[in-house]
Structure 1
Amino acid sequence: MTITQLYYVLAVAENQNFTRAAEKCFVTQPTLSMQIQKLEEELDILIFDRSKKPIELTDVGRKIVTQARNIVNESYRIQDIVDQQKGFIGGEFKLGIIPTVMPTLLPMFLKNFIKKHPKIKLKIEELTTEEIIERLKDGHLDAAIAATPLEDENIKERVLYFEPFVGYIPKNHRLHTNKKIDVADLDISDMLLLEDGHCFRDGVINLCKAFKNQSDEQFQLESGSIETLIKLSNEGLGMTLLPYLHTLDINEKEKENLHYFNEPSPAREVSLIYHKSELKMQIIEALQDVISGVVRGAIAFQNVKIISPLPSK
């Protein structure tokens, strides 16, 4: 049994196809198939049910894949040990970022990070929290930036910053004349929300539920982006809540519609998250150092109350 064979097994399990798996592993399909067959013969079992389309794991195959993933991840740790011993911070690093953080945070730190760590080849992808957790567990991401806490025993979290919620309230709205707003003022029935799947949406719903201001009716209007929510609000279709960093980029006229909460301000916790196996920790620590440095000057709020990003049950 070899680590290469286990790596091939993981590739087939992911792609459910020998040809696609071979392409991902940069080997020929016969080579990959032969190595997996050798492993099955050695173990005297079948890992894959080849009669199914797409290919499926057998019952024992599912257990083998779980253990194979642990073994392959641990094999990568050897290179990690060598890199840390040499003080090397480089190589490919796959980073996921949730959609409501990506457009504001990435421009703040990316150029600085690349300049400081030119040997790191960052691969960045915008993903939902659900997709991020799945890919961290499968080993297809090295780390991610997401709203926390996630309460997942397989995921470790390093808090980067606390980002307050800010009300965006147009002039025709009942709360526009309030200099500051309270959470108790919110009514979900006249709020614009992000579409399902965004953790910031879940945070807003949890915030309103805490004060029983959740309507039993379907939400009036939902959108896929914060920029669209602002435009819809400008049309008089309701108020919305924005993450604080988004408020820094809106124009001066729109800033007249911003209303801050009385303290403690509701806020989301944004963290650098990674698998408990703790691979590539030198790069994770380098990311944390750069991001914390740039955000520290942008967010001065201290008295905040963290709102959970987990969907309400």
Structure 2
Amino acid sequence: MSYVPLSGLSLRDIEYVVAVDDLRNFSRAAERCGVSQAGLSEQVRKLEQLLNVTLFERSRRHVAPTPEGARLIVLGREVLASARNLLEVARAHTGPLDGLLHIGVIPTLGPYYIPGLLQRLRQEYAQLSLRLTEKTTSNLIQSLRQGELDVAFLAPTAATETLEQEPLFREPFVAVFPAQHELAQKPDITLDDLGRPDLLLLEDGHCLRDQALSICPSNFRPQDQRLATSLEMLWHMIAAGEGFSLIPRLALRNRTEFEGLVKFRELNQTEAYRTIDLVWRSSDPRAASFRELAHFLRASIPEGCLPYQES
């Protein structure tokens, strides 16, 4: 095979292209990559000239890879994954939790868990730099497998050969009702009370939706349930009197703006919780360090949560 010079081809440019493909938007891709939109667009154009291929079809409202671009972007992702693996192997011998660590987190956990976590990580791992990403569970798993993330915080998924997970803590659910809701007046709330038409859920794709349904009576089938696009929107829908929902404990903090509009009710049943795990690729040579990180995190469980217990 003849030698092909790589002058002009950089990993950073490939990262730009992958970001555009992920987000289908040059502005959001530039924000993710920490550069100006003009700078990112110029580098993508230069890469297209270098490859002699138009990677993206562009219009004012539409960005999508061309057929040839789609094939090359797949190769680009493989190049980035190999480059990250090279760094991971090197770090395993020089300081596995030094340098940059890409962390993913589900939207129903990130805003409520990460702020309290950052200070502890800074104190324990002084040389660690963090890059945070918030995605739904399926997208986090995809990013882990593609090497775009190093670790992720999420509720447990079915075990796979390519991912390893360590449980951190159990986060109880709390039933949150409009202040005048009939169930808010009951002395005790049971799981059988929850299978009602006015149970509010998140849209498909959010693991919290499936977690809430798993707690409801086994014969409950959602019909025309009102759906929220985010956990924050769910709060507003409850406060507006549209219905009730199950909210993870950490998301109850600092909710004074809803005082008088909602009521919190504890669920005493032992199954009314979700487990939060730390997840990474099984092939990552830093696996021992990630287990050490999980052990460190288990020692500082957030207030209101419970230690993990084997079932």
Whole-angstrom distance in 2 between the partners of 1:16 and 1:82: 33
Q: 1:21 to 1:81 in 2, by over 3 A?
A: farther
Partner of 1:157: 165
1:3-42 pair list within 5 angstroms? 11=14, 14=18, 23=43, 29=47, 33=51
TM-score calculated relative to the size of structure 2: 0.72
Residue 190 of structure 1 aligns to a residue whose secondary structure is coil
Residue 92 of structure 1 aligns to a residue whose secondary structure is strand
The answer to whether the Cα contact below 8 Å between 1:96 and 1:127 also exists between their aligned partners in 2 is yes
Partner of 2:110: 102
- Specify the code of the residue in structure 2 equivalent to 1:55: G
Residues 237-273 of structure 1 deviation map (CA, whole Å, 9 limit, x = unaligned): 1111100111233239469711112322411111111
The answer to whether the Cα contact below 8 Å between 1:159 and 1:272 also exists between their aligned partners in 2 is yes
Shift of 1:226: 2.4
Shift of 1:125: 1.3
Residue 108 of structure 2 aligns to a residue whose secondary structure is coil
Residues 154-198 of structure 1 deviation map (CA, whole Å, 9 limit, x = unaligned): 111111111111101223323112233211111241111222221
Q: 1:32 to 1:273 in 2, by over 3 A?
A: farther
Whole-angstrom distance in 1 between the partners of 2:134 and 2:81: 26
Residues 124-181 of structure 1 deviation map (CA, whole Å, 9 limit, x = unaligned): 1111111111111111111110111333331111111111111012233231122332
Shift of 1:287: 3.9
Residue 196 of structure 1 aligns to a residue whose secondary structure is coil
Q: 1:230 to 1:74 in 2, by over 3 A?
A: closer
- Specify the code of the residue in structure 1 equivalent to 2:69: I
The answer to whether the Cα contact below 8 Å between 2:249 and 2:304 also exists between their aligned partners in 1 is no
Residues 89-130 of structure 1 deviation map (CA, whole Å, 9 limit, x = unaligned): 311111011100011101111122123322111001111111
Moved more, 248-257 or 65-74: 65-74
Shift of 1:31: 11
Shift of 1:285: 4.1
Residue 284 of structure 2 aligns to a residue whose secondary structure is coil
Q: Which of 248, 273, 282 is the equivalent residue of 2:279?
A: 273
1:120-131 pair list within 5 angstroms? 120-131=128-139
Q: 1:284 to 1:156 in 2, by over 3 A?
A: same
TM-score calculated relative to the size of structure 1: 0.71
Q: Which of 70, 82, 89 is the equivalent residue of 1:78?
A: 89
- Specify the code of the residue in structure 1 equivalent to 2:277: S
The unaligned stretches of length 5 or more in structure 1 are 35-51, 306-313
Q: Which of 67, 71, 78 is the equivalent residue of 1:57?
A: 71
Q: 1:107 to 1:77 in 2, by over 3 A?
A: closer
Q: Which of 193, 209, 220 is the equivalent residue of 1:185?
A: 193
The answer to whether the Cα contact below 8 Å between 2:238 and 2:262 also exists between their aligned partners in 1 is no
Tell me how many residue pairs correspond in the alignment. 275
Whole-angstrom distance in 1 between the partners of 2:169 and 2:307: 10
Moved more, 268-277 or 182-191: 182-191
Whole-angstrom distance in 1 between the partners of 2:290 and 2:260: 36
Q: 1:21 to 1:133 in 2, by over 3 A?
A: farther
Q: 1:254 to 1:246 in 2, by over 3 A?
A: farther
Instruction: Supply the RMSD in Å over aligned alpha carbons.
Output: 4.0
The unaligned stretches of length 5 or more in structure 2 are 22-38, 53-65
Partner of 1:234: 239
Q: 1:115 to 1:99 in 2, by over 3 A?
A: same
Q: 1:160 to 1:15 in 2, by over 3 A?
A: closer
Whole-angstrom distance in 2 between the partners of 1:304 and 1:246: 25
Partner of 2:229: 224
Shift of 1:278: 2.2
Structure 2 residue 294 is matched with structure 1 residue 288 = yes
Moved more, 146-155 or 128-137: 146-155
Residue 148 of structure 1 aligns to a residue whose secondary structure is coil
Partner of 1:260: 266
